[in-house]
Amino acid sequence: MMHLSFDYAQQIFLPNLPDQPGPIYFLTQFKVAIFRVANEAAGTQYNYLIPENMLTGKGANCIASMLHHYLEHYGHGETHLIIHADNCVGQNKNNIVMEYLAWRVSVGLHKKITMLFLPVGHTKFAPEAGFGILKAKFQHSKVASVPE
C-alpha cells in the first residue's frame, strides 16, 4: 500500500541571493513552479521544478504526467494506492486525472486506487508543510544559476 498526497506550491523566483543588501535589478525574474508529491508512509517528498518556459498551466494534464512519472520511478509495486489531494476542480477533480487513475487499475498496475479530497479550507496537508520547509531554506540559500 502507498499513501500519497500532492499539491502545487507558489512559484519561486530566480536568482535568489540572500546576502544582497537590496533588491536586485532584473527586468523580470525567472519563475519556477513547484509540484510536490509526498509519500506519507515512507516520509519522503519529491519536488518537481517546472521552469516558466515549460509550464503549460497547472491543469489536469500536468498533474497526470507528474503522477505517472512519480509512480513509474518511485513506486515499489504497491497494489493499493491511496491519494489525498485538495479540492481544486481544475487540477484534481476532473475527468483526466480520474481516467488516468482508472487506466492504471484497468491495465493491472494497481488493484485498487482510492482518491480522497480534503475539505475546503484545509490546514493540515503534508505537501504544504514541505513547501514551508523548502521556502524557509530557499530564502537563506544562494541560487544564482539562470537557464540559457
Q: pLDDT per residue over 12-33, tens digit each?
A: 777 666 666 655 555 567 788 8
> Tell me, what's the pLDDT at 139?
74
| Mean pLDDT of all residues in 66-95 | 82
For residue 14, the SS3 value is: strand
Domains assigned to the chain: 2-139 (3.30.420)
User: Across the chain, what does the average pLDDT equal?
Assistant: 79
pTM attached to this predicted model: 0.77
- Residue 147 clears pLDDT 60, i.e. is over it: no
Residues 47 and 35 sit within 8 Å (Cβ to Cβ) = yes
Q: What is the DSSP letter of 16?
A: B
> Tell me, what's the pLDDT at 142?
74
> Tell me, what's the pLDDT at 24?
59
Other Cβ atoms within 10 Å of 51 Cβ, number: 12
Q: What angle do CA 9, 13, 14 make, to 5 degrees?
A: 135
| Mean pLDDT of all residues in 96-117 | 92
For residue 88, the SS3 value is: coil
| Mean pLDDT of all residues in 60-68 | 87
> Which cell numbers in the block locate residue 61?
494534464
- Residue 91 clears pLDDT 90, i.e. is over it: no
Residue that wins the pLDDT comparison between 86 and 64: 64
> Tell me, what's the pLDDT at 90?
53
